[in-house]
Amino acid sequence: MKRHLAKIRITVAIAALLVSVPALAQQPTATGVINATLNHKNGIALVFDTDPGGVTLGAPGTSAATLNFGTISAFGPLSAGVSRTSVTAANFTVRTVFDVQVIQGGLNTPSYTLQAQLASALPTGFSFKVDGITLAGALATIQTNAAYNVDVAHNLDLTVSTAAPGAGGPAVGTPLSTVINFQASAN
């Protein structure tokens, strides 16, 4: 009888195993562990945004935006967002406003310094200023202790000499295309 009970127990155990294998196969599970290391990099990003009072930028929200003053003159209409701030016998100045936003991550600095420079020399009779600071080939400081993560408005002035061509003034109808490089440095 004991032998008969042992056979029954073995048969029941085999049957239970055979029934449980398909049940497990229908709901497979697995576990695992990933060992990862986070390399957090700090840095800053500079982007240009259109200011509501200025010219609409090309590619706003990027670090390579473009700005077009349109057709300018000492007298007559100007494009939307462009104003004429000065007209003298020697020159005239047009202005627009644009926004700079410096976004920081992973830094423990409260502010940044903004600098700008011309990428190449301008044709005779033209000059640029940002916030009253004349731009040339060397970096010029535009702002110190600027706040991160907010649009900061800056004025861009273009001054054009009214002197005759050859006497310090540009040729009439001269198109002007230049690159102004901006640099933000964490304080």
Q: pLDDT tens digits for 89-104?
A: 999 999 999 999 999 9
Q: pLDDT tens digits for 123-168?
A: 999 999 999 999 999 999 999 999 999 999 999 999 999 999 989 9
In a domain, 25, yes or no: no
Q: pLDDT tens digits for 40-81?
A: 567 889 999 999 999 999 999 999 999 999 999 999 999 999
In a domain, 28, yes or no: no
Q: Are 178 and 135 in contact (CB under 8 A)?
A: no
In a domain, 164, yes or no: yes
Residue 167: give the domain boundaries: 43-186
Alpha-carbon gap, residue 143 to 145, rounded angstroms: 7
In a domain, 2, yes or no: no
Mean pLDDT of the chain: 85
Q: Are 50 and 56 in contact (CB under 8 A)?
A: yes
Closest CA to 63 of 15, 108, 101: 101
Categorise residue 9: left if φ over 0, alpha if ψ from -120 to 50, beta otherwise: alpha
Alpha-carbon gap, residue 86 to 160, rounded angstroms: 10
Single pTM value for the model: 0.77
In a domain, 8, yes or no: no
CATH number of domain containing 64: 2.60.40
The count of domains in the chain is 1
In a domain, 157, yes or no: yes
